[in-house]
Structure 1
Amino acid sequence: MELDKKYQQKVYAGVLGKIIGVYLGRPFEQWSHELIMERLGQIEYYINEKLDKPLIVPDDDITGTFCFLRALSDYPDGFEITPKQIGQTWLNYIVERETILWWGGVGNSTEHTAFVNLKNGVSAPESGSIKLNGKVIAEQIGAQIFIDGWAMVCPGDPEKAATLAGRAASVSHDGEAIYGAQMIAALESQAFTETSTNVLLEIGKRYIPNTSMIYRLVNDIQDWHVNEPSWKKTRQKISDIYGYDSYPGSCHMIPNHALIIMSLLYGEDDFQKSMMIVNTAGWDTDCNAGNLGCLLGIKNGLDGFEGGPDWRSPISDIVYCPTANGGETISDAVRESYKIINTALRIRNKPQTFPKNGARYHFEMPGSVQGWSAAEVSDKRAKTKIQNVNGFSRDGERALEINFFDISKEKMSEVFVSTFLPKSVKDLTGSARETFFGYNFLSCPIVYSGQFIHTTITADSDNKIAINYKLFARAYGANDELLTIMSPTKILYPNQTSDFKWLLEVADGNPVVQLGIMLTADELVSGKIYLDFLDIKGEPSVSFFRPSHVPIFERGREKENELAPAEMWRNSWVKATDHWQNRWAETFRISNDRGRGMIITGTSEWKNYTVKSKITYDLAVSGGLGARVQGLKRYYALELTRTNKVRLIKMLDELLILKETHFDFEFNKEYELSLQIKGNLLVGYVDNKQVLSFNDQLSPLTTGGISLIVESGTLFTDNVDVF
């Protein structure tokens, strides 16, 4: 299949189907069919509010799907990617006991078991094998739930999709679990070009053994579908023959794969009907609905979401992918789709595509809003609606229409997008909070002080008068309340296009949580403007420290303040070390009991910059500053060691010393470290003296955030500067 616009929109539809299915099924995950019918009835639409749960949440089905596919970007091997490399991708992005996986215990959670194997030096595919982990552990559902991305980079090529899926699944699974993953991948791959469901199933079966249980259950369900019009009666047969009673473990592949196949057949290509069946059927509802939603999204395209309930507006494309690379946590369906599209192009040695010169928010997919929303109506905020429309774009085909009603000098229209953990999420309580943080939300902001916000906006030709607009940013300030930073005012006349760059400057190290646009007018008016794109440009110029509004911890004074001190400035770092507590006078006092630990901030867009800090070492083997950090196993660093060395290192799965020299090192003494990185050249300074430089020409790391790193010990500092 050509990787053209049709392909690209099918990928986006597949991603949408995946996240819609997961969000729909998550609130009643692992409920039985009987309990669902008793408490909820048939699942016709989102029911999260009925159960007091948030709709949009971090989830292993979503994060694992989009994260593990990064192996194809991180390694140059393309279709020859190995299970070992995919396993190393797990070790790079997973923060142990925090992100992506269900941390249910070795021998209980299949993925937890496999992760510990990988960490202990057992490479994939042995890490997920029946030989090592036993048949029950190895054949649970996880092989299937992370697999969709491998299919979407192989459109119309089910053989390649099944091969890649088998390698990816083998990191944590074996046997029937791998066959189930390969079946789903083959179906999704062929769905780019094939419209017949029965033909899809016959093609999918070619890529799994005809002696397997997955092959047998697909045949059985096909036969039952021909002879039994009731999906509920077929569901009962599945429960009797392929149910949880017959297949032990926390969440077995066989019963849930059967429900996907049943729902695909009885859903008759109707997205709403298929979602109703697969979710009402019970068991692992978010996983099953996510896989089926992706398959139907690919098969039917964006039109498949039309004609029924509004599946897209409530989720606004929002995706959360918490990993060690915290700058990629805040995401959206369009962004993740283009990562998949560009991976497919890159592994075929084709030019990649970056709409509107790579703008973060470009709205080039039909119906997309990329997480943008209108502020709620209030005394000061006017009614505002947004939608994706054709036209009004300089370098693309689409824009975000912002329709405002009755704005004036006193009443504004406001639209915004979250750039960090939203305050509405931070303020969750009770079961809603417990649900959202079931998978920990490790995140870094996507925008920082010193960066430029660049946008192009056009006023509708039918607007009656000029309007005034400002860009704004909101940051977490004292007590984690929001403070607003405004750009200068720009005037926009009817039919005028405004191109505006704004240098964002944020005081006190406060993390930025929103970017937005504010509209007012000199007299009462309604109208429209069109947001062509909004982008975040350049490297930051920012200092990280304890904000002035945060008191230093002092025993006995913990309850003197009515409001809790701000915490989000700390939460803007990914904690991947054993200890980083707020009880110490030093802002960043981090410890790791064994091996290397770090705290990380920044984004994958940072390229050329200097990171500097005055660091004191207590007991430690080594430690220092990381740059171009892309996870736990991909970064550069300038480090001092207890063996009297200063070194430039590159972590690329394994630690490589690029250059080192003698250095008289002492514990409990402050050293100013500075690591400058431009292009492939790394230059290290200690106490303002250049000590090392290295030009990395072998698989250089080209982008990434920063980190503080400590090996088996403790170091501390009060400030980290990036410029």
Structure 2
Amino acid sequence: MTIPNDYLERVYAGVLGKLIGVYLGRPFEQWTHQRIMRELGPIEYYVNEQLNEPLVVTDDDVAGTFTFVRALEDYGITADLSAEDIGKAWLNYIVEEKSILWWGGNGNSTEHTAWLNLKNGIPAPHSGSMATNGSTVAEQIGAQIFVDGWALVSPCQPQLAAQLAQKAGSVSHDGESVYAAMLWAAMEAEAFRSADINHLIDTGLSVIPKDSLIAKLIAEIRDWRKTDDDWMVTRQRIEDQYGYAQYPGNCHVVPNHALMIMSVLYAPDDFQRAQMIVNTSGWDTDCNAGNVGCLMGIMLGLEGIDAGPDWRGPIADRLLISSADGGNSINDAVRMAYYLANLGLTLAGHAPLSAPKAGAQFHFSLPGSTQGFRSQDGQIRLSVTNIATEHGRALAARFEALGPGQVAAVTTPVFSPREVLQMKVYDLMATPLIYPGQDLEAAVAADVSNIGALSVTLRLRVYDEYDNLRTLDSAPVALQPGDSSVLRWTIPDLRGQPIAEIGVAFTASGKRADGCIVIDHVRWSGAPQLTLQRPEEEGTFWRMAWVNGVSFFSKRFPPSFRISQDRGDGIIIHGTRQWTDYTVESDVMLHLGTAGGLAARVQGLRRYYALRLVRKGRLQIIKVRDDVTTILAEAAFPVELEVTVSMKLMVLGTRILGEADGTAIEACDDGDQAFLDGGIGLVISDGAISTPSITIGAAETMIADVDTAKETSDVLR
């Protein structure tokens, strides 16, 4: 399969286009055209400040699009990926009533309805079919709004994009909704090699039934476009013939699809104008603008996005994904572009891209990318831009009139921003990306043309007891003009509070400094070394740093962590997929339930290893994968309620070692479906469990202790 030479950059432009459209349209979602014109006028640029809302927010369009495509990673990067496998990804990554979806009720929200079907054992595609849910529920907009990821991994392959979109859409939708998704996915896949909008539409029409309503309305809109010079006239025709009044439900696909087709026909080569038309037209603005933005981004590239106003600067690549994999939640368009491009390359039979700059998390390798880095609020004149250097692309922080005692800083989020408290409708499930015990590094240089010397530090911004950000800096390094340095810092203990931002800060060493600091990369590495517990200075965000997959996560009981699950299995999760080999230990108390304990290498709600106490008198190491729980090792163990048990769980390569009050067991998982990475968790089945603290440390330190415990257990037996 031929891959375009600029594939990665086009994927990046598609992701950016999606984000721009969603964040532009989100503040006035579901407004009518008439209300938009009356209160805002034509939507030429972001209006979030006018409506007193954050710009970068959690939204189902973004979260679903960039989560459901992960089914390829989990179940096989193949064109034969099934709807049932994508449905399994829904159950693994969606936290009930908390993440990704609009939880509007069974029979009201199509996605909520489908999720309940999946939860109740109805597999996809039956979970989304008309036969199961009726035509009204099945033909709302959701299949279309989540479709872009499947196209981004299928460059120049419209049939493949439509095939994947059909399977993904059928998890929750049916009928015209799935046809709309298939058509748009095919258009986006073809946009990697064509900028002819009519050719793209014809390509989309080729993958859906010719007698479908979607095909009929497109033919009519094309005819109207030939006679109507003003898009407003066509928009009124759409409202009269295909508007919300003509279709049941709260957000039908047909009216919104019609507005999308109209927008690209009236602005086939103008990103900004297409966004203006689709947003000013009203109804489901964030969904429509997101799909249009992704298509136009792929088709026109970064140059097309940059041809109008500064769409990219305010967003700064930031991307929020609320899911059960909390380490994927604080994301950016660069990281997502590399992820999707590597899926697409693998799907096409090509080798994946090499990780830039030896795997640095922030490397700024794509044109214009800033990966969330922005100037901290302050009075220093400081701009942040992406530049080309002899070593590749980098981030430039330019400053003027920086005096002694004045500190300039550029930082990027690595956990939920404070604005999350203002976000409406969609919660953000997230865990921090970086932790105490890990090594933070930044390669920096003072431009040779700088005036004055600088003192440079690494910077952390950490939440305090009032949910404000306090600043911690590493030891300073002096940089004369032309000097460079690699700043390194082992993150200190933070008393249980999460790190919100990381970056670089600098001040003048003399009377004044002017010029530029160049940041080549920022990375962190190593296993975390920390104890998680309720901080002395509590606040809100330390608890928000856990993905909450249980019925009740207590705020009031004395133990730091007391969780309860009404039915079935529950888990709270902390950490990221960067974690590989480590030990987790805790003194736990089972208050009620069939089983409970510690989890490791957690990759969502239904993918992890666990060491658990079983009420029937067993200690087990288990593997949970989808709806299958496999006992990997077990031993007899006296389990009593309201008794503290000291538990340790270690993962090291293929070895999984567990110990509870001196009883040790070990398992090995070296199969193709082994979990190689992931965070930690506290698990409970049908009851409640608590612990005052949870400690994460290096794996090797536990081996000798567990081996000794195993020998003792063998002797006693």
The question of a shared fold, defined as TM-score above 0.5 by the shorter chain, is answered with yes
Equivalence for 1:196: 196
1:408 matched to 2:396: no
TM-score (norm 2): 0.95
Change (3 A) 1:110 1:695: closer
Q: Work out the CA distance in 2 between the residues paired with 1:154 and 1:516.
A: 35
Tell me what 2:443 maps to: 456
Aligned partner (choices 641, 658, 670) of residue 632 of structure 2: 658
The whole-number CA distance in structure 2 between the counterparts of 1:659 and 1:93 is 27
Q: Contact 1:392–1:530 at 8 Å: present in 2 too? A: no
Q: 2:713 aligns to what? A: none
- Residues 462-505 of structure 1 show CA distances to partners (whole Å, capped at 9, x for unaligned) of 12343210001121123333332221111223222212321111
SS in 1 for 2:576: coil
Give the match's secondary structure for 1:420.
coil
Offset, 1:695: 3.6
Equivalent in 512, 515, 532 of residue 527 of structure 1:
515
Q: Counterparts of 2:399 and 2:166 in 1: how far apart (Å)?
A: 51
Is 1:390 the equivalent of 2:398? Answer: no
**Matches for 1:242-253 after TM superposition, within 5 Å:** 242-253=242-253
Partner of 2:460: 473
Tell me how far 1:530 sits from its aligned partner.
Answer: 0.8
**Which residue is equivalent to 1:602?**
575
User: In structure 1, what residue type is equivalent to 2:532?
Assistant: F
Select between 487-496 and 204-213 the one with higher mean Cα deviation.
487-496
Q: CA deviation at 1:651?
A: 1.0
SS in structure 2 of the partner of residue 319 of structure 1: strand
Which one of 565, 582, 595 corresponds to residue 592 of structure 1?
565
Q: Which residue of 2 aligns with 1:362?
A: 363
Aligned counterparts, 1:13-162, within 5 A:
13-162=13-162
Q: CA deviation at 1:548?
A: 2.1
Amino acid corresponding to residue 13 of structure 2 in structure 1: A
Q: 3-state SS of the aligned residue for 2:315?
A: coil
Q: Which residue of 2 aligns with 1:545?
A: 533
Answer whether contact 1:468 1:520 (CA < 8 A) is retained. Answer: yes
Summarize the Cα distance change of 1:696–1:684 in structure 2 as closer, same or farther, 3 Å threshold.
Answer: farther
User: How far apart are 1:406 and its partner, in Å?
Assistant: 1.8
3-state DSSP of counterpart to 1:12: helix
Letter in 1 for 2:88: Q
Deviations 1:538-584 (A, max 9, x none): 1100100111234xxxxxxxxxxxxxxx1211111111101112110
The CA distance in 2 between the partners of 1:236 and 1:465, in whole Å, is 62
Question: Whole-Å Cα distance in 1 between the matches of residues 279 and 613 of structure 2?
Answer: 55
Taking the aligned partners of 2:246 and 2:669, their CA distance within structure 1 comes to: 59
C-alpha contact 2:44 2:272 (8 A) present in aligned 1: yes
The one-letter code of the counterpart of 1:706 is I
How high is the TM-score relative to the length of structure 1?
A: 0.94
AA aligned to 1:692 is E
* Residue ranges of structure 1 left out of the alignment (5+ in a row): 551-565
Equivalent AA in structure 1 for residue 494 of structure 2: A
Structure 1 position 39, deviation (Å): 1.4
1:561 alignment counterpart: none
- Judge conservation of contact 2:655–2:666 (CA < 8 Å) in 1: no
In structure 2, distance between residues paired with 1:549 and 1:7:
48
Q: Work out whether residues 64 and 146 of structure 2, in 8 Å CA contact, stay in contact via their aligned partners in 1.
A: yes
- Residue type of the alignment partner of 1:385: S
2-structure distance, mates of 1:437, 1:512: 23
- Shift, 1:5, TM fit: 5.2
Q: Alignment partner for residue 544 of structure 2, among 566, 571, 587?
A: 571
Contact 1:624 1:637 in 2 (8 A): yes
Residues of 2 paired with 1:203 and 1:77: CA distance?
A: 24
Residue aligning to 2:703: none
Q: How does 1:293-312 map to 2 (within 5 A)?
A: 293-312=293-312
Q: How far does residue 369 in structure 1 lie from its aligned partner after superposition?
A: 0.6
Find out whether 1:721 has 2:695 as its counterpart.
yes
1:438 aligns with 2:419: no
Matched, 1:510 2:497: yes
SS in 1 for 2:559: coil
Shift of 1:443: 1.3
- Aligned partner of 2:700 in structure 1 is none
1: CA distance between counterparts of 2:36 and 2:256?
A: 16
Q: Partner residue of 2:712?
A: none
* Higher mean C-alpha displacement, 404-413 vs 292-301: 404-413
Between the aligned partners of 1:128 and 1:536, the Cα distance in structure 2 is 42
Structure 2 residue runs of 5 or longer lacking an equivalent are 698-717
Report the CA distance between 1:716 and its aligned residue: 0.7
Deviation sequence 1:142-187 (CA, Å, 0-9, x none): 0000000000100011000000000000000001111000010000
Alpha-carbon distance between aligned partners in 2 of 1:696 and 1:702, rounded to the nearest angstrom: 10
Q: Is the 8 A contact 2:589 2:689 kept in 1?
A: yes
CA distance, structure 2, for counterparts of residue 262 and residue 63 of structure 1? 26
For the Cα contact (< 8 Å) 1:392–1:458, is it kept in 2?
Answer: no
Residue type of the alignment partner of 2:16 = L
How many Å separate the matches in 2 of 1:689 and 1:391?
A: 57
Query: What's the offset of the Cα at 1:409?
Result: 2.5
Q: Within 1, Cα distance between the matches of 2:545 and 2:685?
A: 22
Alignment correspondent of 1:554: none
1:404-444 deviation digits (Å, cap 9, x = unpaired): 21223311211111111223x15x5xxxx2xx131011111
Q: Secondary structure at the match of 1:215?
A: helix
Q: Deviations over 1:287-311 (max 9, x none)?
A: 0000000000000000001232111
Contact 2:458-2:487 within 8 A present in 1 as well: no
Of residues 227-236 and 270-279 in structure 1, the stretch that sits farther from structure 2 once superposed is 227-236
2:476 corresponds in structure 1 to 489
Deviations 1:168-221 (A, max 9, x none): 000000011110000100000000001211111111110000010001111111
Paired residue secondary structure (2:399): strand
Whole-Å Cα distance in 2 between the matches of residues 18 and 617 of structure 1? 46
Question: 1:91 deviation in Å?
Answer: 0.3
1:407–1:519 Cα contact (<8 Å) kept: no
CA distance in 1, matches of 2:350, 2:453: 45
- Measured after TM superposition, the shift of residue 398 of structure 1 is 0.1
Cα deviation per residue 1:325-381 (whole Å; 9 max; x = unaligned)? 111111111111111111112223433221112211111111111111012233xxx
Q: Which stretch has the larger CA shift, 324-333 or 656-665?
A: 656-665
Which amino acid letter does the alignment assign opposite residue 506 of structure 2?
A: L
* Aligned equivalent of 2:606: 633
- Aligned counterparts of 2:634 and 2:663: Cα–Cα separation in 1: 15
Q: Which one-letter code corresponds to 1:377 in the other structure?
A: G
Are the aligned partners of 1:257 and 1:288 in contact in 2 as well (CA < 8 Å)? Answer: yes
Q: In the alignment, which residue of structure 1 is the partner of 2:701?
A: none
The corresponding residue for 2:279 is 279
| Contact 1:376/1:383 (8 A) holds in 2 | no
Contact 2:24 2:46 in 1 (8 A): yes
Distance in 1 (alpha carbons) for counterparts of 2:467 and 2:384: 28
Whether contact under 8 Å (1:647, 1:692) holds in the other structure is: no
* Alignment length (residue pairs): 694
Preserved contact between residue 442 and residue 523 of structure 2 (Cα < 8 Å): yes
Cα distance in 2, alignment partners of residues 231 and 481 from structure 1: 47
Question: Could you give the per-residue CA deviations for residues 12-36 of structure 1, whole angstroms, max 9, x where no partner exists?
Answer: 0000000100111111111111111
Mapped contact 1:137–1:249 kept (Cα < 8 A): yes
SS of equivalent to 2:199: helix
Distance 1:670 1:69 in 2: 42
Percent identity over paired residues: 45
Matched, 1:376 2:413: no
After TM superposition, give the deviation of residue 693 of structure 1 in Å: 2.9
Letter of the aligned partner of 1:361 in structure 2? F
How far 1:697 sits from its partner (Å)? 2.4
Secondary structure at 1:48 match in 2? coil
- Matched to 1:709, the amino acid is V
Separation in 1, partners of 2:659, 2:390: 49
